[in-house]
Amino acid sequence: MEKIEKSDSQWKSELSKDEFDVCRMKATEPPFTGKYTYCKDDGIYRCTCCGNELFSSKTKYDSGSGWPSFWEPIHENSVKYERDSSYGMTRVEVMCAKCDAHLGHVFEDGPKPTGNRFCINSVSLKLEKS
């Protein structure tokens, strides 16, 4: 997978303020406000920044957390992980493997078969409906 690298000013010119704040500056959209929180449409969720395939609607579920939740990425190498110690918590950050966009976090309290809950900001996703 070819890596995409751009300066903050390049990203700022291509993204909305909310997209830039979440995807590039690691902000979080307020719970229950994202356009995909309750979405049940079929398709592929892609990275807002680079279009990389991230999640399938087949793995999306309602976790009640206030953010779109998935139990696994569409491909093992679609996302990457980093330890996140911000806000006095230790979590696992989920990022786009192609452009390093901040997507959200993954927790080990999800459904079978993986037991994972990928809690993802809607603003970091673009749904390609099928």
Tell me which residues are annotated as active site. Answer: 119
Beta strands in the chain (DSSP E): 43-47, 53-56, 60-61, 69-70, 79-84, 91-96, 102-107, 117-120, 125-129
Identify whether the C-beta of residue 31 lies closer than 8 Å to the C-beta of residue 47: no
Distance CA 84, CA 87 (A): 9
Q: How many residues appear in the chain? A: 130
